[in-house]
Amino acid sequence: MSRIGKTPVEIPDGVSVDIAGQMVTVKGKLGELSTTLTDDVEIGQEGNLLSLKLRNDSSRARKMWGTSQSILNNLVTGVNEGYSRNLEIQGVGYRAQVQGKELVLQLGFSHEVRFPVPEGINIQCSDQTHISVTGNDKARVGQTAAEIRSFRPPEPYKGKGIRYEGEYVFRKEGKKK
């Protein structure tokens, strides 16, 4: 039995859920998200709770039970509260700024890196060394933050690069004479 799959998803006030077969559409103050769940799981709505039940007792159905519950919970949380990932830039001369619909990064290369902001994602720079990626889709926010980080991941000798807020970078000792 899946502990995650058994717990129902609570629908807060201001969020509406439409179920059409395996297609689930969630609308809230931050937009609208929809997904199609696997046929192994049955979706039911009772008042302000969404519950999932297995249609058969196959191994795949048991695996997808908890996954489907997490996906539904992410949809409901996304349209109600939204998601955010914060990045920090460390290094002399490294900086970021938003120009129109592009994030411009100067990361010690001979050129500046221009990253187009994806649709549905909002990127803000509170100062030159902090980037905030927000949106209502958890997967897209995480993927966008990972793509920005991949331009210059933190290196272990000096710690320079782009890192997630609160990320610990294991530091190595340099060469000895």
In a domain, 171, yes or no: no
As given in the structure block, the two tokens for residue 155 are 């290196």
53 & 114 share domain: no
Domain's final residue, options 60, 80, 100:
80
121 & 108 share domain: yes
Position 51 scores a pLDDT of 92
Residues 6+ apart with CB under 8 A from 133: 84, 85, 86, 87, 121, 122, 123, 141, 144, 145, 148
Residue type, 126: S
Domain's final residue, options 80, 107, 139:
80
- Please state, for a pLDDT cut of 70, what percent of the chain lies above it: 99
Write the CATH number for 136: 3.90.930.12
102 & 55 share domain: no
Q: Under a CB-based contact definition with an 8 Å cutoff, are residues 148 and 87 in contact?
A: yes
In a domain, 48, yes or no: yes
Q: Under a CB-based contact definition with an 8 Å cutoff, are residues 96 and 45 in contact?
A: no
Q: Supply the DSSP symbol for 152.
A: S
Q: What range does the domain containing 55 cover? A: 3-80
The pLDDT of 89-105, averaged and rounded, is 94
* pLDDT reading at 1 higher than 70: no
Binned at pLDDT 50, 70 and 90, residue 88 comes out as very high
* pLDDT reading at 137 higher than 90: yes
In a domain, 175, yes or no: no
CA-based torsion, 65, 66, 72, 75: positive or negative: negative
Position 177 scores a pLDDT of 80
Q: What is the DSSP string of 155-166?
A: PTTT--EEEETT
In a domain, 170, yes or no: no
d(CA 70, CA 25): 15
* pLDDT reading at 44 higher than 70: yes
**Mean of all residue pLDDT scores within the chain:** 93
In a domain, 160, yes or no: yes
The pLDDT of 25-42, averaged and rounded, is 93
Burial (CB < 10 A; 0-12, 13-18, 19+), residue 142, is: middle
